[in-house]
Structure 1
């Protein structure tokens, strides 16, 4: 006989797992829900709920509390009903296929194997679950023994149907469907008592729900797209477009935050605020904040970079480029153009879009040095607004040409360097 864990709703048991526990179910509970009771071998109060060693172990809360936990995970009543309808439809297809196969195998001879029941429709199953978990399972609650045994048979059939649906419906949706039929204060839980008996090795001293939830969150960080936070909508849009040209294989794995339709302004100061908000919220996704490689961004990020950041967070600047080590620069009040190193001074995204788009009327659009920033001991450098507009327009044409021809000719070295820095942010 196997040892099982299972969902307890009132006096009923559902969703059996043999010789272990289902991690999705365990992660629905907190360590504060844990109940462990050890009885003396000669304890006269022991009842049928005790295993041979006198240990009961499980995690218990109320139906209402579990509903709320499922709600914040997105497993609402509506979603569960949709999942159930889709699951039953899939179950019916499998049933029909199996029935047809068995009929063909039995053609010309007696059919020895009874065909499975036709899957119940959703409304009938939910009604059966509701009937099962009402508190009347003792024999004294029924007029005759026959009524009780009929109820027990119906309950066993319902449990079997729910168990069969695990092949077609996610466990958390099934939990939601079950507890939605229960009164809010009804006791529900994950019973692990059988796993403490012979032939199983569950350590009753070790927490289960907490570490399971931590593994679930870690899996989310591992599987969810890497979020990249930028200074504003232009950087996000340009980098997204460029990624489809230079790194299309990352399209489903890296997601630049979409500012479309928001009033979020584009500034490095606001980016630092967003990073701190992500940290404070405990965002499970791994995320990278990447800012310009200019004086203003280095000054604004200085405090943030001194903080102890979570393991899943990185704060970066666009990388230094060979092009920017000797770049045309104008320092007022002079109008003379000099070749200077503008890495860390004027490395806004426009400077990474390629020599081809930075070249206007045969020459590179010059950087203009502006305010001196004492905190980083350098001037802030920028392109003129007119040149910035021309560079972005030229880049849009380059992207369209590259995607229509599936040809990434031209200078993409700066953007490739940015993506490589993002890709290796957690090395």
Structure 2
């Protein structure tokens, strides 16, 4: 078992059933880790071992195999293999694996491990890569709700693992030692503790299987804000911090101005600064200005975290209407106004009540509005998949 697989599971995925007298662990496993293919795929995505990198990873492997065959004296079977490799794409690999897994003869191991009609030959294409890439590729063959199980029974029965209170990630930490630092989750920087609190709650409720895979940096620099978040990202770059770092800012004028400070700085490839994505709600949101109340597009000018918390908390219970954005100052540098939603404290209080209700009774989540925060989480997951992703050939120094 590659120890990197342990990091993909949490304590909640552990199933332990002590061996019965005269029991056979092969027939009745004692210690297993199990979760769905979708959860496992998203966890790998969050670690940068993502679907987006599979095609290039496989293409490089196929290129190497083709080169090796073309340099050798090949027979009829090798010629057939060469033809298969030349048309091999991720889609065709996934189909071939599905066929191999469905046929008993396709799982056989014989002397010709290069025979791509057998699973072992298909697996061999990934043998020079971090094994998590092969796992991520195999998940493409699975249905999203299919259960994926890692059987640790023989390690447990052999005394290598203690099943009582077993924590896969803690065990992985011990096994990896210093190399574990290269596998830690990305750091997410926000404008302040409130933004971090709300996004952490969103992950807990909307993507609970990722709570141990995303770290929020507690930015406590007074008065905080977009400028402080950008400064923190620059500090990470200057300090040579190797963790992937993602700074998420309000989608407003202040954040756009703060990002001007990055024009003279070329951040490391694993550090990125972005504003929250635009959302439909803000395309025609009620605003207050000298001309009275008027719906306007506030994406990019006034969309603070509060406008992503859901219409159920943005609605004023006294009036039944969305709390409006009030225009305040004009930014001459950008030629744009900055606005702020009225009643921030009330909105934040309502959201905390919403989170409490969701924690107490998960069934109420279906009747709540999480669309705005879902947009931010989708944006964050996209960045986790793409920012500073290492070369898939790099094995992180792990022994096979």
TM-score normalized with structure 2 length? 0.50
Greater relative contact order (CA < 8 Å, ≥ 6 in sequence): 2
TM-score normalized with structure 1 length? 0.47
**Greater Rg by CA:** 1
